[in-house]
Amino acid sequence: MRRRPLLLTGALVVLTGCSSAVLQPLTLFGAPGIGDPYYPGDGNGGYDVERYDLDIAYDPADDVLTGVATITATTTGARLSGFSLDLVGLDVSAVEVDGTPVEVTREGDELVVDPGQVVVDGDFAVRVEYSGVPEPVEDGPGQSGVVPTPDGVLVVGQPDVAATWFPVNDHPRDAAAVQLAVTVPEGLVAVSNGTLVERGEPVDGQRTWTWRTDEPMAPYLLTLAVGDYELTEREVDGVTYRDAVSRRLSERLAGNARTALDRQPEVVDFLAELFGSPYPFTECGAIVTDSPLGFALETQTRPIYARDFFGSADGAELVVVHELAHQWTGDDLRLDRWRDIWLNEGFATYAEWAWTEAQGGETVADQLAAVLDTDADDEFWTPAIGDPGPATEDLFGEAVYVRGAATLAALREEVGDDAFTDLLSRWTTGRAGQAVTTDEFTGLAAEVAGTDLTDFFDGWLGAGKPT
Ligand code: ARG
Ligand code: ZN
């Protein structure tokens, strides 16, 4: 039920009905951060988003994005007299809360609905009109975020990207359904997550593409690729695979990419068996971009791949295994706080090892042995992978990926194949669709194994080589 906002004349109202001295529930201002120590400004307190309806136009000629975002949310505790959304740059021209125009202020990367104008309690909707040229995110040697390309634009990044293109509760703890309608010049293809609801007819040289994801999705996993793409579609075992491969790729790269992508249903079957739970979504597929991106990303149902992963035909499917594994661990199960990133990257890398072994290549045991061969003085052992630090190069450092995978391989040896298989299945099934923490995983592992694993996990997830 949608409640009308209560219009207030004063600022914070805590007491009403003075004659009978009835104490009303406290009215609060939603915190400007969700409470993740790695990124204190990310996300916001006081509410939970159910759904984003984004209606945007992107003009590749001047890189201007024009948008209307409608955010449907629910307060999580006290009713709110004001709250924040995350938004980096961009000009806001109008904001309404449940149809009531409100004044906002910009404080750093927060879009603040100032207290004293509305009170929201339970379900509410915020509508934001905005426009501007999004600021790219400096990301190691390159850029991520909203990045213009010769033929259009690519939106991809982790952890920071969402707030650079729409007002958002920008933290994976608050996942939401998304509908994205994007209007671009009619000759271009616009690809995003989930299902293609509509490819509109051209109007005045523009076409609107509407994409929809019903399963909750962490905001950073929302992607958009606009450009000269070949979009193909096929259905296998009830899952629709939509692949967008840039037409700007060389024949060789495009061929290697298509060969790897053709194996997606086989990879999905393999991973469902490995994780002991079915593929979490009904849509799948890939975006292979021609732009110089230094990484791939597990954008929900439709990972993005940099072209350079497909330089050789040999092993080109490994990155596909990695990103599709993230659909279980990273996307369906998502992080409650960024320090637990090994729950994403360690699991996806372990899936690569398991795939390699199943293909008759190096065994998981050999990969683990190679890790354990690394000298204890090597800086590979320096970070605590259970708390690697917020810098992108640490969050996505080799230690998190490889030692994360080795932690799982060692755990399998510690608890035995049966308990390990049972653990992965209970983890991905029991926590499906939820935000998870390391403690929840280690607790479940101890429960399934029926033994205390404190020293084991302290050794593997802490700093230094485990003894
Ligand atoms: N999660 C991505 C992967 O599967 C890596 C993302 C790297 N992110 C970045 N901003 N450089 O490997
Ligand atoms: Zn990964």
What mean pLDDT comes out for the span 396-418?
98
Average pLDDT, integer, range 79-90:
97
Residue range 219-235: average pLDDT?
A: 98
Atom of ligand 1 nearest to the CA of 348: 4
Q: How far apart are the first and last CA of the chain?
A: 57
Q: Is the pLDDT of residue 2 over 50?
A: no
If you measure from the C-alpha of residue 168 to the centroid of ligand 1, how many angstroms do you get, rounded to a whole number? 21
Residue 19 has pLDDT above 70, yes or no: no
Structure tokens at 360: 């008759």
Identify the pLDDT of residue 131: 98
Write the pLDDT tens digit of every residue in 187-218.
999 999 999 999 999 999 999 999 999 999 99
User: Which is the closest atom of ligand 1 to the Cα of 344?
Assistant: 1
pLDDT at 8 over 80: no
pLDDT, average across residues 97-109: 97
- What pLDDT, on the 0 to 100 scale, is given for residue 458? 98
Q: Which domains does the chain possess?
A: 1-227 (2.60.40.1730), 232-329 (1.10.390.10), 334-461 (1.10.390.10)
Task: Taking residues 428-448, report their average pLDDT.
Answer: 98
Q: Which of 287, 396, 398, 402 to mutate to test the pocket of ligand 1 (most atoms within 8 A of CB)?
A: 396
| Mean pLDDT along residues 422-437 | 98
Exposure string over 390-417, b if 16+ CB within 10 A, otherwise e: eebebbbbebbbbbbbbbbbbbbeebee
Tens digit of each residue's pLDDT (9 = 90 or more) over 139-175: 887 899 999 999 999 999 999 999 999 999 999 999 9
pTM of the model: 0.94
Confidence of residue 25 (pLDDT cuts 50, 70, 90): low
Q: Average the pLDDT over 321-326 and give the result.
A: 98
Each residue's pLDDT tens digit, 269-282: 999 999 999 999 99
| pLDDT greater than 80 at residue 1 | no
pLDDT at 238 over 70: yes
* Mean pLDDT of all residues belonging to the chain: 94
pLDDT, residue 141, reads 79
Atom 8 in ligand 1: residue holding the nearest Cα: 158
Question: 77 or 368: whose pLDDT is higher?
Answer: 368
Contact of 211 with 194, CB cutoff 8 Å: yes
Residue 1's nearest CA partner among 99, 124, 174 is 124
The pLDDT of residue 24? 55
296 within ligand 1 shell (Cβ under 6 A): yes
Grade residue 314 by pLDDT with cuts at 50, 70 and 90. Answer: confident
Asked if the model's pLDDT at residue 248 lies above 50, the reply is yes
User: 350 in ligand 1 pocket by Cβ < 6 Å?
Assistant: no
**Above pLDDT 70, what percent of the chain?**
95
Distance CA 96, CA 5 (A): 11
- Percent of the residues in the chain that have a pLDDT greater than 90, as a whole number: 90
- Whole-angstrom distance, CA of residue 231 vs CA of residue 246: 9
CA of 348 to the centre of ligand 2 (A): 6
Ligand 1 nearest atom to the CA of residue 157, by list position: 10
41 C-alpha to center of ligand 1: Å?
21
Q: Which residue has the tokens 């994205």?
A: 180
The pLDDT confidence band at residue 450, using thresholds 50, 70 and 90, is very high
State whether the beta carbon of 151 lies less than 6 angstroms from ligand 1: no
